[in-house]
Structure 1
Amino acid sequence: MRMTVIGTGYVGTVHAACMADIGHQVLGIDIDAERIASLSAGRAPIHESGLDELLARTVASGRLRFSTSLAEGAAFARTHFMCVGTPQRPDSKAADLRYVDAVVDGLAPHLRPGSLIVGKSTVPVGTAARLAERLAETAPDTEVAWNPEFLREGSAVQDTMRPERLVVGVTSRHAEAVLRAVYTRMILDGVPFFCTDPATAELVKVAANSFLATKISFINAMAEVCDTAGADASVLARAIGADSRIGPRFLEPGLGFGGSCFPKDIRAFAARAEEIGAGEAVVFLHEVDRINTRQRSRAVDRARRLLGGSFTGRRIAVLGAAFKPGSDDVRDSPALAVAAALHQQGAEVRVHDPQAVDNARAAHPELAYALDIDKACEDADLVLHLTNWPEYQDIDPAALAALVRSPVLLDARNSLDPRSWSAAGWAVHAPGRPRLSSTTPSKAKAAALTGGAS
């Protein structure tokens, strides 16, 4: 099939490359000429496992090419996937749909009869119906369907090629047939295919994200209780996760969620529910959001206490800048938010991340960055673990203890092995877990005992 993918950000680039890889002829479209040039050369604009190879292969095959022209896209195909961003509006918590509207308005004058616009962007319920009305005069033979994406950054290619489910919201058998043809390979492989109305399809995405966000905030709320009660939130999470009705996924107490999806999606969902008169049904989402945001300030407060009440003149190593491992995305990153707050309150902060340093530096140039872990931690008074990169699991705590000024670890992601760090001389702190201390002296204390310089 011929199709366009409009918007070559995270979702659009992955979708375009994957659709080309399964045999479709795909034209990716974006207004960013520099990005289009990079994509046309087979270079991905984002760090995503497997995407560079996939993009290079599909561009070389001729099945995937790129353009900045919506008119060219309308001439090329009748099926158009819309993958533009829907960020939070600057004046409210609602979704900003200006980019969605711009695509529809830009396509409308060029669309051929029988065209289908398929939204993949996360939007407020009712958006597809509103766009159909918008097109009624300018492109009356065009249909609007919705096909939400369920990609996880770090595994987006796999999630597209082998999704857990496909959801399409359509208003005609023709639109359903087109989308079944697009996803024939996945359907034949047994992927569940849910065909429903556009409003339900729109709600599936925000409902899924809201449920997962609620699970994360729930276990972080329990970690706050455990901190006060002297209980262990990690054991608590494993015990309740063993219940088949609950399950262990997303029950890791830590720094909370971030990124370009969960935070703005739950806010936009709550805002839209208010608009349509169902605000009371999702009032809990406001508390989910507050609990999540509070984890960042709690991490800063805990770091301050560990340093005796002040950050002034203290050096802090921050391990992680991306909002999650496997990505270079720093949008609404809890790790970077904590690092910036530490700097603002007087700490000397050095940040390490395996992939996101360039993006982090662009967002927060006031912070210092290190390209290797040892440099980030050299002479640190405190080490903060803020993103769950596998590289940090491989750290030798004994070797690192020799580099820092004081071997104190705040594992805000609650994922490092506390016993191995403690055995190597570290005082280990994590949300919702009892403190593990070591009797091994710090470098400064050891030097003082032996008469050497600290």
Structure 2
Amino acid sequence: MVEKQRLKISVLGTGYLGATHAACMAELGFDVIGLDVDQAKVDSLSAGRVPFYEPGLEEVLKRNLASGRLRFTTDYAEVSAFADVHFICVGTPQQATSNAADLTYVDAVVETLAPYLTRPTVVIGKSTVPVGTASRVMARLHGTAPAGQEVSVGWSPEFLREGFGVEDTLNPNRIVLGTSSERAEAVMREVSARQIAAGIPFLVTDLQTAELVKVSANAFLATKISFINAMAEVCEAAGADVIQLAAALSHDDRIGGKFLGPGLGFGGGCLPKDIRAFMARADELGVEPALSFLREVDAINQRRRARTIDIARGLIGGNFAGRTVGVLGAAFKPNSDDIRDSPALDVAATISSLGAKVMVYDPEALENARAAHPDLTFAHSMLEAVRDADVVLLLTEWAEFRDADPDELAKVVSQTKIVDGRNALDPEHWRGHGWIYRALGRP
């Protein structure tokens, strides 16, 4: 009996999503080719170097390059000749002049790939896009690709958490596919066979619903984060403790405790731009009032940054001019070097603009932070960052900062004052070691 040949996969775009998806598809045993228009990125990945920080990804990359199952190119002709299924994994950032998503990279991939699709094939989008994009992509491919209607299209949004990208790709909590094509569904079931066999739900919807699943999930998570941060504002005014409040709420299984951590709020390359793009698309569809609440979700999130600055300013007498501020954290979250819309860097830059000498340290994001904010000063260790500080701000909850020894920090700071922007520390422990401790939403 002749063994059925395994699918050959292409991944179009090798940023965070694409590089992770390509390496993990090879890890699952598929032959994979990743494409990017950036030759430097292709060269880096081909050499086994991941151009961003993601725990475990470099090991997976190197292992599959060595096995021969994974390679990278800039050549669309090579990709189209090789692959049975193409995954679109390019970025969809916020437009520079509006809240809407910028689909330049999605459109560029479709326009460039289409002329090479001369045989029946499957194209699956994974990029986060406004609802209606997949139908437009399908129409464009059917109208311009030589294979025409033989190009089957689906949309299968990703649900990766930065810092857990490898695990979330190999073992997702669900797989969603939007399609009207039996061929696209069959191919995705083959790609996902190991996960399906492990009991991971495989949900098939129409194209529009699949697109909405991703943005709806992000809108819900953003709303939950901003809800508890709104309660933090109330707690501060009322003298209550938002941590105790969140703990009590979490015991209600209708609410749960995940994403109920009060603090500096969300950032990164997904939640902020996705909720704004969702609002913009709702406006285009004539249902803007349905998502008007997301404006306040966004506003609450931004207010937490200003409140953190106010607390720090109050601790040092009401004026940052001439003061030294130690900032722990630059990435928008731990286990990542992503600084896109980072609350930590936003706070640091604002305090610097108010006249303080700001010293920033992050275990992984220093290079990116320095490129984005050359006006700030960066340290190479936690102790260096807080040396002579009048106030310390913990703004990204890396384990290194959560586990910091208050006595060691006390030896180098000017004043033992700390603002815990992530509610990551034990207040009684730090106060017991002589620190003045403040946090968002706590007495």
Q: TM-score scaled to structure 2, two decimals?
A: 0.97
Task: Tell me which of 19, 30, 36 is aligned to 2:36.
Answer: 30
Given residue 35 of structure 1, which amino acid in structure 2 is its aligned partner?
A: K
Any idea what the Cα deviations from partners look like across 1:105-163, whole Å, max 9, x if unmatched?
A: 00011013211111000000010101112123212121221000000000110001111
Q: Which amino acid aligns with 1:193?
A: F
Distance in 1, Cα, partners of 2:113 & 2:413:
58
Task: Give the match's secondary structure for 1:379.
Answer: coil
CA contact (8 A) 1:119 1:148 kept: yes
Correspondence list, 1:75-224, <5 A: 75-139=81-145, 140=148, 141-224=150-233
Deviation of 1:336 after TM superposition, in Å, equals 0.5
Question: Any idea what the Cα deviations from partners look like across 1:315-348, whole Å, max 9, x if unmatched?
Answer: 0000000000000111110000000001011010
Contact conserved, 1:154 with 1:326, CA < 8 A, in 2?
A: yes
Pairing partner for 1:393 from 389, 399, 402: 402
For 1:380, the equivalent position in structure 2 comes to 389
The question of whether the paired residues in 2 share the 8 Å contact of 1:216 and 1:251 is answered with yes
> Match for 1:298: what amino acid?
R
1:339 corresponds, among 333, 348, 364, to: 348
Quick one: which amino acid aligns to residue 220 of structure 1?
N
Please say if residues 311 and 438 of structure 2, whose CA atoms lie closer than 8 Å, have aligned partners that are also in contact: no
Whether the 8 Å CA contact 2:12–2:34 is kept in 1: the answer is: yes
Match of 1:444 in 2: none
Instruction: Check whether the contact 1:75–1:112 (CA below 8 A) recurs between aligned residues.
Output: no
Secondary structure (helix, strand or coil) at the match of 1:164 reads coil
Secondary structure in 2 matching 1:27:
strand
Alignment match, 2:284: 275
Matches within 5 A, 1:242-261: 242-261=251-270
- 1:81 match: secondary structure: strand
Q: Deviations over 1:162-183 (max 9, x none)?
A: 1100000111111100100011
1:20-41 deviations in Å (ceiling 9; x for gaps): 0111010000011011001001
The aligned amino acid for 1:292 is N
Letter in 2 for 1:274: D
| C-alpha contact 1:25 1:64 (8 A) present in aligned 2 | yes
Q: 1:367 maps to which residue? A: 376
* 8 Å CA contact 1:78, 1:112 repeated in 2: no
Matched, 1:8 2:17: no
The aligned residue for residue 3 of structure 2 is none
Which secondary structure state, in structure 1, belongs to the residue aligned with residue 59 of structure 2?
helix
**In structure 1, C-alpha distance between the alignment counterparts of 2:240 and 2:305, rounded to whole Å:** 21
Aligned equivalents of 2:275, 2:418: Cα separation in 1: 32
Maintained 8 Å contact 2:154/2:181? no
| Contact 1:232–1:433 under 8 Å retained in 2 | yes
1: CA distance, partners of 2:139 / 2:84:
19
Q: Assess if the C-alpha contact under 8 Å between 1:255 and 1:296 holds in 2.
A: yes
CA distance in 1, matches of 2:310, 2:257: 28
2:321 maps to amino acid: T
In structure 2, what residue type is equivalent to 1:32? D
Q: 1:228 aligns with which of 210, 226, 237?
A: 237
The count of aligned residue pairs is 434
Cα-to-partner distance string for 1:69-91 (whole Å, 9 max, x where unaligned): 11211111131000000000111
Quick one: which amino acid aligns to residue 13 of structure 1? A
Q: 1:452: which partner in 2?
A: none
CA deviations on 1:365-422 (whole Å, 9 max, x unpaired) are: 1111111111111110000000010001221101211211100000011111111111
Matched residue type, 1:158: E
Unaligned runs of 5+ residues in structure 1 are 435-454
- Deviation above 2 Å: which 4+ runs of structure 1? none
In 2, are the aligned partners of 1:78 and 1:111 still within 8 Å (CA)?
Answer: no
Cα distance in 2 for partners of 1:142, 1:290 equals 43
Which one of 47, 52, 56 corresponds to residue 46 of structure 1? 52
Give the deviation of 1:274 after TM superposition. 1.0
Residue aligned with 2:392, SS: strand
1:159, 1:112 → 2: CA distance?
33
Q: Is the 8 A contact 1:21 1:58 kept in 2?
A: yes
What TM-score comes out, normalization by structure 1 length? Answer: 0.95
| Alignment match of 2:326 (pick from 314, 317, 329) | 317
